[in-house]
Structure 1
Amino acid sequence: MAQAGQVPSPGAGLDQPCVFKLVLLGSGSVGKSSLALRYVKNDFKSILPTVGCAFFTKVVDLGSKSLKFEIWDTAGQEKYHSICHLYFRGANAALLVYDITRKEGKEFAESKRLLFMEASAKLNHQVTEVFNAVAWELLQREEKKEGRQQRGDAGLALNGASAGQARCCPH
């Protein structure tokens, strides 16, 4: 299985999607697992708390482009905080999931120049739109990075890999 940060295996077709690691973060019982399940399988269930981490994959078709999400659903309970950071390593993006009745996050997102959307797994409201917005953002950043590399510009790698290391197959 391909992992984020690695070059696709030789012989893989040019139409093989880019692979991006996406982590879901948030307190316990806010709906991280429900959000992932709704997105990946279009299903909703009241789910028991996640133990450690759950893993989902989904190929996202964005018209002429596609990508593959490796979705890491981390446990929100306090007792798992010491190990959850291990799942964040190499992530290309994170979704901060929270209960909007406790604290509104739009102001925080705007202050940090982050994408912000409200969604409901239970009502199936804007779930696909949230993940598609992240997918488009990741693809745009990848295209900008590839453009800099073709021009020979130096880039800054945020995941510890060298800036010249390919993460994705050509589009």
Structure 2
Amino acid sequence: MGTSGQGQSNYDLSFKILLIGDSSVGKSSLLVTFISNVLDDLAPTIGVDFKIKLLTVGGKRLKLTIWDTAGQERFRTLTSSYYRGAQGIILVYDVTRRATFTNLSDVWAKELKLYSNNQDCIKILVGNKVDRESERVVSREEGMALAEELGCLFLECSAKTRENVEQCFEEVALKIMEVPRLLEEGSTVIKRNILKQTQEHQAPPSGGCCS
């Protein structure tokens, strides 16, 4: 179980995670449910939004900066730059809307390949809205097959009932920590922050003598 907090320096590693997929598949709902445990009606994301979650996974204190991207095509050029530097990418579809599933391979996997500069990034395919089982049109087996084809982890979840929501983000974090280069990237962010803070503390007071 993850825990959240407000401090910005009491963590061991810092990772960037990106949510992608068609509009209205529930990307924002998954994020808000994970961050706050509360789910209200959400308006579609305009461009990009992000939230920070502090949690402990695998004995490490993590800072996850999770970017939520708009699914509408008119925002694609705006959101493309956010792929860079992401250690984890969550591809989301709606199990009750087949088009959102086929677009993962037709649109989103291609964009990921085009814009992501991190070959080692961890990818997970997430089928959302399993609470609406009677409306399901994409089977679990189809989801698993596509995940295997795309080289992704796979999970089905429900932002509404919270089923597998925490597991989704924590599984990505755990897998990131298993990749040495991604782990080093997460550590480097911390080292840079510490160095910056040290330099700020050591800076001479304004009005001091100059050499």
TM-score range, shorter chain: 0.7 to 0.9
Q: Which residue of 2 aligns with 1:76?
A: 71
Structure 1 unaligned regions, length at least 5 = 1-11, 147-164
- Is 1:38 matched up with 2:1? no
Distance in 1 separating the partners of 2:176 and 2:21: 21
Letter paired with 2:62:
L
- Is 1:124 matched up with 2:162? yes
Q: CA RMSD in A?
A: 2.1
Deviation at 1:37, TM superposition (A): 0.1
Q: Which residue of 1 aligns with 2:110?
A: none
Deviations 1:76-132 (A, max 9, x none): 111101111011111111000110122443211012331100011011111001111
CA radius of gyration, larger in:
2
Distance in 2 separating the partners of 1:61 and 1:32: 22
Share of identical aligned residues, percent? Answer: 38
- Is 1:48 matched up with 2:48? no
- Is 1:168 matched up with 2:187? yes
RCO greater where, 1 or 2, for CA within 8 Å and sep 6 or more? 1
Instruction: Return closer, same or farther for 1:116/1:81 CA change in 2, 3 Å cut-off.
Output: same
Deviation at 1:166, TM superposition (A): 4.9
Q: Is the 8 A contact 1:17 1:59 kept in 2?
A: no
Distance in 1 separating the partners of 2:38 and 2:187: 30
Distance in 1 separating the partners of 2:45 and 2:58: 33
Aligned residue among 151, 157, 162 for 1:113: 151
Q: TM-score, normalised by structure 1?
A: 0.73
1:1-171 correspondence runs (5 A):
16-62=11-57, 64-101=59-96, 102=98, 103=101, 104=138, 105-142=143-180, 166-168=185-187
Deviations 1:124-165 (A, max 9, x none): 1110011110011011113x777xxxxxxxxxxxxxxxxxx7
Letter paired with 2:63:
K
Q: Which shifted more, 107-116 or 91-100?
A: 107-116
Q: Is the 8 A contact 2:11 2:54 kept in 1?
A: no
Deviations 1:13-64 (A, max 9, x none): xx63211000000000110000000001111112111011111000121252
